[in-house]
Amino acid sequence: MIYEKQQGVPAFESAEYAPKCQEYVVLIPIINEGKRIHRELERACRHNIDKCADIVICDGGSTDGCTEEKKLKTLGVNTLLVKKDTGKQGAQLRMGIWWALQRGYKGIITVDGNNKDSIEDVPRFIEKLEEGYDFVQGSRFVKGGKAINTPLLRLVSVRLLHAPVISLTAGQWFTDTTNAYRGYSVRYLKDKRVQPLRDIFMTYELLAYLSVRATQLGYKACEIPVTRRYPKKGKVPTKISFLKGNGELLKILFANLFRRYNP
């Protein structure tokens, strides 16, 4: 099905392989993740994640064959959404959030598609959302979490810069603030004081904003332990370039501090 561009939502196509089966949905933004997304989905299958949440791929326009329909179906994917518009991760997430809200899910979980995160921990997010939390941040740094082969620069920047600034902005301490492995209640996302479906969120702005807006508005937030594993050798799987990408993250971090993304 083709969805035309509308305010706050990019144009996109959807291929629904199954109807809504669960009350929660896992949104996985990807672009050209190759075998990494397949390995992640294989792990999800082994842990029966599709039995507790519908798995939805939010593709940014992959050309490497990783979204081949037959393969995704065999790996338990419920739906493939393909962005046909401008923007990067933020646009992919807005596409997925809008679609999930239209479908009537109780809560949304997001996780990267590069096989770094413990997708088998999805039930922990659902448990916290069921307990009444509105924002659930996955963290490799809290008790029970695991940070494996984390690049030193990434570790230092998160622990000494990003996490303190996000925590200051949110008014609550968070330890793993660049981690996109999170859970959101629909109540939080639908609050008119939040408005996540805005075109200002094109890259990584939405992740930073949603990290802090919940506690600013008095919603319940918490962290839960997860694992984030980087490969021992080879190129680090990330879409953030060293200079331009990290410079953009800093701009977003301090724009968020001064509440420039608030409605």
Which of these, 44, 22, 38, 178, lies nearest to 119 by C-alpha position? 44
- In this prediction, residue 247 carries a pLDDT of 79
Pairing of strands 135-139, 24-30: unpaired
Separation of alpha carbons 68 and 261, rounded Å: 36
Question: Higher confidence at residue 225 or residue 249?
Answer: 225
* Rounded average pLDDT over 242-250: 69
- In this prediction, residue 195 carries a pLDDT of 98
In the chain, what are the domain boundaries?
Answer: 2-257
- In this prediction, residue 226 carries a pLDDT of 98
Express each pLDDT in 152-176 by its tens digit.
988 999 999 999 999 999 999 999 9
Which of these, 133, 167, 173, 125, lies nearest to 22 by C-alpha position? 125
Where do the H-state alpha helices sit in the chain? 35-46, 69-74, 89-103, 122-130, 152-157, 163-170, 186-190, 205-216, 244-257
Confidence band for 232, pLDDT divided at 50, 70 and 90: confident
| DSSP-based three-state secondary structure for 109 | strand
Separation of alpha carbons 146 and 219, rounded Å: 27
Phi, psi of 232 (to 5 degrees): -65, -35
Whether 237 has a pLDDT exceeding 60, the answer reads no
Topology of domain 2-257 in CATH is: Spore Coat Polysaccharide Biosynthesis Protein SpsA; Chain A (3.90.550)
Whether 236 has a pLDDT exceeding 60, the answer reads no
Which of these, 108, 137, 97, 78, lies nearest to 12 by C-alpha position? 97
**Locate tokens 């392989």: which residue?**
17
- In this prediction, residue 238 carries a pLDDT of 56
Confidence band for 243, pLDDT divided at 50, 70 and 90: very low
Confidence band for 246, pLDDT divided at 50, 70 and 90: low
- In this prediction, residue 235 carries a pLDDT of 60
The total of other beta-carbon atoms located within 10 Å of residue 187's CB is 14
Express each pLDDT in 106-130 by its tens digit.
999 999 999 999 999 999 999 999 9
Token code pair at residue 209: 């904003």
- In this prediction, residue 239 carries a pLDDT of 52
Whether 242 has a pLDDT exceeding 50, the answer reads no
* Rounded average pLDDT over 82-110: 98
Express each pLDDT in 182-218 by its tens digit.
999 999 999 999 999 999 999 999 999 999 999 999 9
